[in-house]
Structure 1
Amino acid sequence: MTSPLLVELSRLQFALTAMYHFLFVPLTLGLSIMLAMMETVYVMTGRTIWRDMVKFWGVLFGINFALGVATGITMEFQFGMNWAYYSHYVGDVFGAPLAIEGLMAFFLEATFVGLFFFGWEKLSARSHLVVTWLVALGTNFSALWILIANGWMQNPVGSAFNPDTMRMEVTDFMAVIFNPVAQAKFVHTVSAGYVCGAVFVLGVSAYYMLRGRHIELAKRSFVIASAFGIASSLSVIVLGDESGYDITDNQKMKLAAMEAMWETEPAPASFTAFGVPSMSDRTTRFAVRIPWVMGLIGTRSIDKEIPGIFELVQRAEGRIRNGLTAYDALEKLKVNHGDAAARASFDATSKDLGYALLLKRYIDDPRQANDDQIKQAAWSTVPEVPAIFFTFRIMVLCAFLLLAVFAISLWHTMRETPAPRWLLCIALIAMPLPWLAAELGWFVSEFGRQPWIIEGTLPTFLATSELGIPDLLITILGFTLVYGVLAVIEVKLMLQAIAKGPAVGADIAPPFGEGTQVHLAAAR
């Protein structure tokens, strides 16, 4: 039986490296598209100020891109080192999108990044524009295949367990690619990256205008960031709603935990705007509910119920008992692959095999489990409700705050009125919000599906490698130190590039004095 400490340390190490890596991914996504948009304007107008903008923001993109690549490679090695049984069990399915991501997206992205930086004097304006759009395309393709892999972990379609090989195998690769959960995650995650890019450009532009530096470049960047940002923010909110609709069908327990919905409510279910959920007494105190909203979001109807945690635990108990039949048949097939009765029994109940495996946390042979252990295993399908509940609400709050910042900024640019100093200060202060929302979103997604590493198929505690506790402690410490140094280098390089500013001619507009307002309309 795997040591609980080993499992938790393995999860902690992967969480640290994954969340650190995702500090760079969204900015890469957002800046790549904005660079392509800016260069398109340059090619269409021929105005060199737009070329200067592409070069300046491209430097910041390059710094961020390098750190993203370095930290992303580390993560892929962890599947083999820290999650060996996971790699063995689902490698035939999970490995395919990762391989395609490496062969197709990464090489496309990396090749054209070089041409982007070194091709300014060697390529025509139109050819360089094609290169920039291919960089953006490669970046998004990279995210697509990673999220197809992750979406399969959330909703393992197009695959089946083969009792002869004891592995998951692909049965329909197109179903894996067009997995509705993966597609929803892709558009939602990419939109979140666009928000990060827009906030970054908005905040740095606001900084320049507050300091009275590089005004012409900052004004144009502020305008394009405001428009791109509000479109991206609206997309994040709309597509987040679509993700909620998808998990209603595929991850009901996660949805119930997000809402701290212990009891099944009459349709349409209400949305809990605020509350204090408790795992000890399994209630939500001080709940402030908005009627109908959750039912409309989760089911797109007024007559479909959303099951509560208690009901879902009862369903899990039934699936565990059914899965024991599959487990028993599988053990017989290990002895005799030609046992027709055992194979028929397994085929009839294999969809619940993963639930029977939950019992391995409490007993080596699940078939020997008693009723108390089965009930305990059923309750283990409930994630930490308070953590999911509050994290989700902070994430949503960040999204609406960012929407407000972009809306106010765009309103000023459209009216061609001066932006007050307080708005520029808010744009600068708001820069961390999209990263906070993105990290919280991944926490909800990954922590919310526990105890599963593959939803309903493979429990997390069975997926680790046979490592020693000291090995994990040393590597966690090593990653923390190395990544801490890389974070300092990243921030220092970014700040130096911003302090140096773009390589442009003298600003047309004069510096701003204290209390002076900034005119944000795009220069004609």
Structure 2
Amino acid sequence: MDPGVVDLSRLQFALTALYHFLFVPLTLGLSFLLVIMESIYVMTGRPIWRTITQFWGVIFGINFVLGVATGLTMEFQFGTNWSYFSHYVGDIFGAPLAIEGLMAFFLEATFVGLMFFGWERLSKLGHLFATFMVALGTNLSALWILIANGWMQNPVGAVFNPETMRMEVNDFAAVLFNPIAQAKFVHTVSAGYVIASVLVLGISALYLLRGQWVGFARRSMTVAAAFGLASSLSVVVLGDESGYALTDNQKMKLAAIEAAWHTEAAPAGLTLFGLPNSTTRETEYAVNIPWVLGVIATRSLDKEVTGMSELVLLAQERIESGREAFGAVEALKANPNDPAAREAFARHGRDLGYGLLLTRYVADPRNATPEQIQRAAWDTVPNVPLMFWSFRIMASIGFAMIALFSTAFLLCSLRKFDQRWFLRLAVIAIPLPWIATELGWVIAEMGRQPWAIEGVLPTFLGASSLSRTELWLTLAGFTLVYGVLAVIEVGLIVRTVKKGPFAGHEDPNPAPGALPATPAMVG
């Protein structure tokens, strides 16, 4: 496989995935914010809460449509750009995606129309139920997609079948209850709730700065502050749980995040700052906090966090075992009933993926030299500086969100909505959680390299047989189409925000002494 084709295929999927993920978390978060706002309307019967729900529902709708449009192209890429990946693991990977379409997407599609057009046709409780079902479908969609992605990170419940030369499910329950998938789901969903809360908080703050729709803005800000505080705290707590899951399942990713080149005596210290050097394989100017990493990663004071150098030595051992597995597979191709080959595969089959790493350097892994084995072992180390800094920026934003929402919750509780310094800060903070979530996906996916499926299928073997020209053309096409969609998305949201919640039937800036057009304007 041409390395350029693999890199372009990865770049194309990365760009479409990162672009798609601009919409997904906002959809996740706004869906349940709408449920909260409409629940208040149902309980109080106050018209302003219906207006609040409808306004944020418009922004949800714009974002929902763009999320669906960009998500469909990603699934097609598994067939167009990653055909061998789809062939090799399609029995396992395809199942959660199919269930997502049948269960979650159909659920959303069934109730989203009722949510938008059923205000006058359904009872209050009936419409609230429709809104809740949309929120449930949106979050179930994320669950099944993250089950599929979690399996790529931790491929449990499946085995390689030497007769079909493919991975096959042997325990679907293990796939569903994969600890990596569970940790990723709760962490990702919580991050989506933070994004939606920041957007509602920031737009509400903008209205307050301008003195527009004050009653609407104060109520929206109060809901966003409470929901955002709970969500930002859960992001940090659940992110810690995700890190703990890496200790058992993705030790190399954890070591790269912490730039832990060598194993330290337990408990390991946390590198707060440093400059990882991939050439010397050392972290220069490191500032360490003793014990912290060991406590976070192992929940103990006596367990080690294995360094990258030691993990590379373990990879070399697995590569040697993988060569034996490769030889057994080749023998089984010639004679499926060869008892010696079956016995050899039973002993070494779990390391077949490591043996396949050698195909980057030699056609037959059994002919690899010691130098090639060592190079393949070091290939299991991801881009350490990228992982190190991405994690620290993401974590810093996470703690900043806790501070932001704690302040917002305090000010809303005290009914001090006129603190202009905070209102400006809330507007400026709008893009920060998006940056954090995009970096989170970079960490998750780049940290798994060189694997398409951790320990099972190297990324360079999963790509389709395409030409560089075809990939450049489709990459340019995606960039153009997605760029246009981005302009449309931002334009529609900006236009909606400018019109405001009472556009078309109420003056946002009534003349002094004028009566409000509806009771909804009463602050």
Q: TM-score range by the shorter chain?
A: over 0.9
> How many Å separate the matches in 2 of 1:341 and 1:323?
16
In 2: Cα distance, 1:511 partner to 1:176 partner: 62
Amino acid at match of 1:423: F
Given that 2:92 and 2:167 are in contact with CA atoms closer than 8 Å, whether structure 1 keeps it comes out as yes
* Residue aligning to 1:515: none
Paired residue for 1:155?
A: 154
- The aligned residue for residue 132 of structure 2 is 133
2:62 alignment partner in structure 1 = 63
The residue number in structure 1 matching 2:95 is 96
Pairwise mapping of residues 435-474 of structure 1 onto structure 2 (< 5 A)? 435-474=434-473
SS of the residue corresponding to residue 285 of structure 1 reads strand
Structure 2 matches for 1:249-264, cutoff 5 A?
249-264=248-263
**Alignment partner, residue 421 of structure 1:** 420
> In the alignment, what sits opposite 1:116?
115
Q: Which amino acid in the other structure matches residue 44 of structure 2?
A: T
Provide the C-alpha distance between the structure 1 equivalents of 2:296 and 2:468, rounded to a whole number of angstroms: 44
Displacement of 1:503 after TM fit?
A: 2.6
Question: 1:41-52 to 2 correspondence within 5 Å?
Answer: 41-52=40-51
Distance (whole Å) between structure 2 residues aligned to residue 303 and residue 389 of structure 1: 24
Counterpart of 2:69, as a letter, is A
Letter in 1 for 2:119: W
Aligned to 1:267: 266
1:207-356 matches, within 5 Å, as 207-356=206-355
Show CA shifts across 1:224-268 (max 9, x none).
Answer: 000100100000000000000001100000000000001100111
Moved runs in structure 1, 4+ residues, more than 4 A? 504-512
Greater Cα offset, 416-425 or 159-168: 416-425
Tell me how far 1:110 sits from its aligned partner.
Answer: 1.5
Q: Please report how far the alpha carbon of residue 173 of structure 1 lies from its aligned counterpart in structure 2 after TM superposition.
A: 0.5
Same amino acid, percent of matched pairs: 63
1:84–1:464 CA contact under 8 A, matched in 2: yes
Q: Which residue of 1 aligns with 2:515?
A: none
Q: Which residue of 2 is the match for residue 402 of structure 1? A: 401
Q: Which amino acid aligns with 1:293?
A: V
CA distance in 1, matches of 2:265, 2:367: 38
Q: Is the contact between residue 218 and residue 417 of structure 2 (CA under 8 Å) also seen in structure 1?
A: no
Instruction: Count residues with an aligned counterpart.
Output: 514
CA-CA distance at 1:415 after TM superposition? 2.1
For 1:348, give the aligned amino acid: R
- Supply the AA of the counterpart residue of 2:316: E
Partner of 1:83: 82
Classify the secondary structure of the residue corresponding to 1:417: coil
Q: Provide closer, same or farther for how the CA distance between residues 472 and 168 of structure 1 changes in structure 2, counting only shifts above 3 A.
A: same
Shift of 1:420: 1.0
Partners of 1:211 and 1:113 in 2: CA distance:
33
Residues 273/511 of structure 1: CA separation in 2 closer, same or farther (3 Å cut): farther
Contact 1:216 1:508 in 2 (8 A): no
CA shift, 1:340, in A, is 1.2
Report the CA distance between 1:23 and its aligned residue.
0.3
Does the aligned pair in 2 maintain the 1:317–1:375 contact within 8 Å? yes
| Distance (whole Å) between structure 1 residues aligned to residue 17 and residue 39 of structure 2 | 33
1: CA distance between counterparts of 2:99 and 2:401?
34
Change (3 A) 1:418 1:501: closer
Q: Contact 1:212/1:511 (CA < 8 Å) preserved in 2?
A: no
User: Partner amino acid for 1:88?
Assistant: H
Distance in structure 2 (CA, Å) of the matches to 1:417 and 1:444: 39
Q: Is the 8 A contact 1:30 1:193 kept in 2?
A: yes
Where structure 1 has 5 or more consecutive residues not aligned to the other structure, the ranges are 513-522
Output the CA distance in 1 between the equivalents of 2:407 and 2:451: 42
The Cα of 1:508 is off from its aligned counterpart by 10
> 1:125 is matched by which residue type in structure 2?
K
Q: Is the contact between residue 212 and residue 508 of structure 2 (CA under 8 Å) also seen in structure 1?
A: no
Secondary structure (helix, strand or coil) at the match of 2:247 reads: helix
- Cα separation, 1, equivalents of 2:226 and 2:55: 20
What's the Cα RMSD here?
1.5
CA deviations on 1:59-83 (whole Å, 9 max, x unpaired) are 0000000000000000000000000
Match of 2:145 in 1: 146
- In structure 2, stretches of 5+ residues that fail to align are 513-521
Checking the alignment, whether the CA contact within 8 Å between 1:156 and 1:454 is kept in structure 2 is yes
